[in-house]
Structure 1
Amino acid sequence: MDRLQNTIRPYAWGSTTALPELLGTEPTGEPQAELWMGAHPGAPSRLDRGEGPVSLADVIDADPAGELGEATVAAFGPRLPFLLKLLAAGSALSLQVHPNLEQAAAGFAEEEANGVPLDAPHRNYRDTNHKPELICALTPFDGLCGFRPAAETAELLDALGVDELKPYADLLRARPEGDALREVFTAVLTADPEAMATTVERAAAAAARRVAEAPDAPFAAAYDAYVRIARQYPGDPGVIAAMLLNHVRLAPGEALFLGAGVPHAYLDGLGVEIMANSDNVLRCGLTPKHVDVPELLRIVRFEAGDPGVLRPEPDADGAERYATPIDEFQLSRYLSADGGRTALPADRPQILLCVQGRVALHGPDGARIDLAPGESAFASAGENVELAGAGTLFRATVADHPAR
C-alpha cells in the first residue's frame, strides 16, 4: 500500500469552496476543480517508498505486471487503464461527447497523418482510447445527460413562447425522432452567431419568467438550469443545445454512466468521477474552446431516452457496486463502521479514496495507512488490504474479468 499525493487542477469552472470543505483546508479564493488520482501523464499521483516522492506512472512503468497484475496488463497494456477524480463544479463544464474505441483510433491516426500537433487547440483526438465515465454525487449534483424524447422537448420549447424556438419545436414533432434531433442540433450549432445570441438571450429571459411564475411546474428545474448556464455563457449556442438534453439532479450516492456518443455536461456539485484513461473530448458548446461541428455530428448518438440514474448494488465482498458495461474501471463504495475489518479483493490494482469520516487500511506485517476525507492510497495487484474505521471509502479498480 502507498499513500498518494495528488494534484488539484484549477480549471475556471471549478468551485472555490467544495474541495477545501472536503479536505479541511482553507479556500484560496481560486477555483479548485478536480483532484486527480492515478497515473495520467497530465498530473500523475506521487508516492514514496522510502527514496522520496516518485510518479505512480513511473512506478508502473518500472514493473507493469507487478503493480497491475498480469490480467490487467494483458487486457489494457502496461498502464493503469482508469483515472479517478474528485470533481467540484461551481459552474457548467463544456457540453461534450466522447468517441468509441474505433472512432478514437481512426481519428487519432488521421490527425497524426495530417501533422496536427498533439497540443494544437483544434486537435480532437489526443490518444487512441475511448473515454466512458461515471460520476457519483457526494452532494446534490446537477447535470445534462443524453437527449430528451423529442416530443417532450418540443413541449418544453413551446412553453417558453419564444418565436425563434418555434421552428425547432415544429421540426421535433414533424420528423422521425433521430432525424429530428440531428437536424435541430445541427441547426443550433451552425446558426448565425448574432442571431443565435439573440435567441439565447430571449430563451433565457423566458425561462427565468417561467421559473418565477411557476416554480413547481413541469420543466421548472430544467428552465432554472438553462438560466444559470446562459448567465455563465451569454449568447453561446450550447445553451439552446442543452435544451435538447435531459436535465438530471442527482442525490448523494446516485450516479450517471456516460458512454460513447452521449452528449453531456456537469453543471454544479461535488462528485467522485472515474473514467477510462483518455483525453478525447469533442465539445458542443458552453466553452470558448474549439468546436468541430462536422466531426461532432459524426460522433454524437442521436438517440433519446432516460438518462439512467444508477444506484449502488450490494456486492458479495460487503461493498456497494455501481454497475457499468465497460472493462476499464469499476467503482464500489464501502460504508465502514467501527468494530471490525473488511477484507478488500486483492487480485487487481486499486485506488482507495476516503470521502467521509476516518478509515484505516491495514496491510501485511502491520502496515497501516489512515485516510481522512479526500485522501487516497494505491494498492498493487495481489496486495492484501483490510478496511477498518468509521467512514465512507470508494474503491476504484478494473472490471472483474477485463477483456477487450
Structure 2
Amino acid sequence: MELLRNAVRPYAWGSRTTIPALQGREVPAPHPEAELWMGAHPGDPSRILGADGVERTLLELLEGDPIGHLGEETAQRWNNRLPFLLKILAVEEPLSMQAHPSAEQSAEGHAREEAAGIPRDASNRNYPDPTAKPELVCALTEFHALAGFRDPAQTVKLLRAVETPGLAKYTELLAAQPDSDGMRALFTTWITLPQASLDELLPEVLDACVLHVKEHGEFDAECRTVLELGEAHPRDAGVLAALLLNRLTLSAGEAIYLPAGNLHLYLHGTAVEILANSDNILRCGLTPKHVDVPELLRVVDFECCDMPILTGEPSECGAVYHTDAPEFELSRCEWEAGEDHELLVRPGSPQILLCTAGELLVRAEDGKELTLGRGESMWLPASDPAVRVRPLGAGRTQLFRATSGK
C-alpha cells in the first residue's frame, strides 16, 4: 500500500476553491481546478514515491508487474490495464453535453479511425481508444445534472408551458409520437437546424423561459438551466436539447450511473466519479470542441424514462453502488463522530482508497501502517495483504473505495 500523488486538471469549468480546500492548500487557487485524477490514465497517471526514494508513475508500476498490481484475472481481462479511473469533480460551470459509446461501438469506431489514419490526439478524433466509457458520479455536495431523456409526456407538458409560435410545431412533433422514436426525431431536427433558424427560435424560447420563471411555473428548475446555458452558449443547439433531458439534483451520497449512450451534462457541484479508463466522448454541443452529429446519433440512446438515483446497497460500513459496468465498482464508508469500528479491505483486486472527510489509519496484516488524510488517496495492489481501516479523531470520517468490477 502506498500514498498516491495525483494530478489536477485545470479545465475552465472548474472551481478555484473546492479541490485546494479538500487538499488543505491555499484558497483560492490561481486558476480553476476541475478534476483530481487517481489511477493509471496515460494522460495524467498518479505517482508513487518508492522505498528507494524514486518517484514512479502508477502506469510504470503496472507495466513492470501487471499480475502483482492488478491480479491475474483483472490483468488478463483488461490486457494489463487498470480498467477504471477515479476522480473528484469540482463543477463550477456546466460541462459540454455528451454521450459515451458502448464497447462494440468503441472497438468499431477506433478501428475505423485507425484505418483512416486520424492521429489519436487530433481534435476531430472520436475514438482515441477501443474501450467503452461508462461512468458513475456520487455527490459530495448538492450536485446538479441533466441526464437521460425525460418521459415524452412530461416533455410535451414542459414545451407547452414555454410554447412560442416558433416552438409549437416541434412540440406537436413529439406530441404526435410520444416515444423514443419521436424523441429521436425531435432531437435530430433540433441539432441539425440551420444556424439562421436556430437564431430565430432560441431567443423566443429563452424569453418564454424567463416568463415561466417569473411566474414560478412548474418547470422552474428546467427553465433556469436553459437560461444559464443560453447565456453561456447563445447560438448553440445544445440549449434546446437541454429541454429534453431529466433535470436532477443529487444530495450528498446519492449517485447516478451513466451507461453507454446516455446523453448527459454536469451543471454544478462536487462529486466523486468513477469511470472506465477511456477517452471516447461524443459531444452534442455547449462546447467549442469537435461535434460529430452523425456519429453522435449512432451512439445516443433515445429510450425515455426517469433517471434512477442510486443510494447504494448497504455494506459493512456504508453503501456500495452496483452497476452493470465490468470495469469498476465504487463503495462509500461513513463513520459518524465517536464511531471507531474497523473496515477490512481484502486483497485480490486493484483498489484505490480515497478519504474525503476526517482522517484514517490503514494497517496491513504485515504490520505496515499509513495515515490517510482528507483529500489523500492510496493504492492497494492486488497482491498486497489485507488491510484494516479505522478513523482517527473524533469527527465524521468518509472513505471511498474503488476497485475493478465483477
Give the TM-score range, shorter chain: over 0.9
2:138 match: 136
2:322 paired with 1:323: yes
How far did 1:195 drift?
2.6
Matches of 2:293 and 2:175, distance apart in 1: 24
Q: Secondary structure, in 3 states, of the residue corresponding to 1:225? A: helix
Matches of 1:176 and 1:138, distance apart in 2: 36
Q: Report which stretch shifted further, 169-178 or 107-116.
A: 169-178
Matches of 1:256 and 1:298, distance apart in 2: 23
Matched to 1:382, the amino acid is: S
1:171 match: 173
1:204 match: 206
Matches of 2:133 and 2:340, distance apart in 1: 39
How far did 1:162 drift?
2.1
Q: Secondary structure, in 3 states, of the residue corresponding to 2:170? A: helix
2:353 match: 352
Matches of 1:342 and 1:85, distance apart in 2: 22
How far did 1:197 drift?
3.2
Matches of 1:367 and 1:202, distance apart in 2: 65
Matches of 2:228 and 2:151, distance apart in 1: 23
TM-score with structure 2 length normalisation?
Answer: 0.95
Q: How many residues are treated as equivalent by the alignment? A: 397
Matches of 1:140 and 1:239, distance apart in 2: 23
Q: Secondary structure, in 3 states, of the residue corresponding to 2:344? A: strand
How far did 1:319 drift?
4.1
1:76 match: 78
Q: Secondary structure, in 3 states, of the residue corresponding to 1:272? A: strand
For the Cα contact (< 8 Å) 2:83–2:327, is it kept in 1? yes
Q: Report which stretch shifted further, 92-101 or 17-26.
A: 17-26
Q: Report which stretch shifted further, 278-287 or 338-347.
A: 338-347
2:39 match: 38
Matches of 1:132 and 1:126, distance apart in 2: 16
How far did 1:366 drift?
3.0
Q: Deviations over 1:296-349 (max 9, x none)?
A: 11111111001110002112x434101111211000011135434221122211
2:64 match: 62
How far did 1:230 drift?
1.4
Q: Deviations over 1:116-168 (max 9, x none)?
A: 11111111101000000000000100101100111211111111132222121
Q: Report which stretch shifted further, 19-28 or 296-305.
A: 19-28
Matches of 1:340 and 1:161, distance apart in 2: 57
1:5-404 maps to which residues of 2 (within 5 A)? 5-26=5-26, 27-51=28-52, 52-214=54-216, 217-315=217-315, 317-336=316-335, 338-383=339-384, 384-389=386-391, 391-399=397-405, 402=406
Of all paired residues, the percent bearing the same amino acid is: 46
Q: Report which stretch shifted further, 121-130 or 359-368.
A: 359-368
Q: Deviations over 1:46-72 (max 9, x none)?
A: 001123211000001100000111111
TM-score with structure 1 length normalisation?
Answer: 0.95
How far did 1:176 drift?
5.0
Q: Deviations over 1:33-91 (max 9, x none)?
A: 00000000010000011232110000011000001111111222201000000011111
Matched to 1:393, the amino acid is: L
Q: Report which stretch shifted further, 361-370 or 385-394.
A: 361-370
Matches of 2:31 and 2:208, distance apart in 1: 33
For the Cα contact (< 8 Å) 1:98–1:132, is it kept in 2? yes
How far did 1:363 drift?
1.6
For the Cα contact (< 8 Å) 1:127–1:279, is it kept in 2? yes
Q: Deviations over 1:168-227 (max 9, x none)?
A: 11001112512211111111111111331342233223212212221xx42211111111
The gaps in structure 2 that reach 5 residues or longer are none
Matches of 2:206 and 2:90, distance apart in 1: 25
Closer, same or farther: CA 31–261 of 1 in aligned 2, 3 Å: same
Q: Deviations over 1:271-296 (max 9, x none)?
A: 00000110000000111111111111
The gaps in structure 1 that reach 5 residues or longer are none
Q: Report which stretch shifted further, 236-245 or 154-163.
A: 154-163
Matches of 1:340 and 1:184, distance apart in 2: 54
Matched to 2:261, the amino acid is: G
For the Cα contact (< 8 Å) 1:133–1:259, is it kept in 2? yes
Matches of 2:55 and 2:37, distance apart in 1: 16
Q: Secondary structure, in 3 states, of the residue corresponding to 1:284? A: strand
Matches of 1:59 and 1:202, distance apart in 2: 56
For the Cα contact (< 8 Å) 1:91–1:232, is it kept in 2? no
For the Cα contact (< 8 Å) 1:160–1:206, is it kept in 2? yes
Aligned-pair RMSD on alpha carbons?
1.4
